[in-house]
Amino acid sequence: MEKLICPSLMCTDLTNIGDEVRSLDAAGADIFHMDVMDGSFVANMALGVEDYKAVRSLTKTKMDVHLMVNNPKNMVPIFADLGADIIYIHPEADTMPTITLADIRRRGIQPGIAVNPGTSVATIKELLPLVDYVLVMTVNPGFAGQTYLDFVDPKIQELVALSKQYDYQVMVDGAISPAKIKSLSKVGVRGFIVGTSALFGKAESYQTLIPRLKED
């Protein structure tokens, strides 16, 4: 199964976004990952509407939006209109996540849920038939540069096992190093959100790094 390498654009040089997106595209990036934070559901604030619009105008590559916001249902129409291909919500942030996920799919967008380190599979299992992607957070969401939380590994394995029944892709996000990509792909993880641990701020070019990350 081919790995999906998904650059987290929160970690890129936003002052040079045109060149960055074109370079990542040329290197074979599979999905551009866009973190939207409201300063309430998570303490930080990050990418917004104008950032999303700018990136969408630069590429035809798939783009997701990771809504780290309270009441994500209110933002679904905004990012749907901006051309999002995948929308992730945090179930804890939505009073009726089943309705929001159905609304995402009704708009022709692939729905996903993001699962925090402290969120158990048992609490989100009913949502698994409704999604195309499950994004497992391997750090506490909100800030780049954290340390990978190893206690999440059994949950990843459980969600990979359930994916065979419910037909979704397992993705991981947070301190994803080249070594983690190798080990987690072996247990069935399909996609990897990559930031400073594997891609950005390195001496080598994206054209060298991304193909290497996709190797077995």
Catalytic residues: 35, 173
Residue type, 29: A
Q: Return the closest-CA partner of residue 193 out of 47, 40, 66.
A: 66
**Taking CA 75 as the corner, what is the angle to CA 80 and CA 100, rounded to the nearest 5 degrees?**
85
Q: Are 151 and 176 in contact (CB under 8 A)?
A: no
**Taking CA 211 as the corner, what is the angle to CA 13 and CA 138, rounded to the nearest 5 degrees?**
65
Residue type, 134: V
Q: Tell me the residue ranges of DSSP E strands in 3-84.
A: 4-7, 31-32, 35-37, 62-68
Q: Is 137 exposed, middle or buried (0-12, 13-18, 19+ CB in 10 A)?
A: buried
For residue 133, list its beta bridge partners.
112, 169
Q: Are 146 and 137 in contact (CB under 8 A)?
A: no
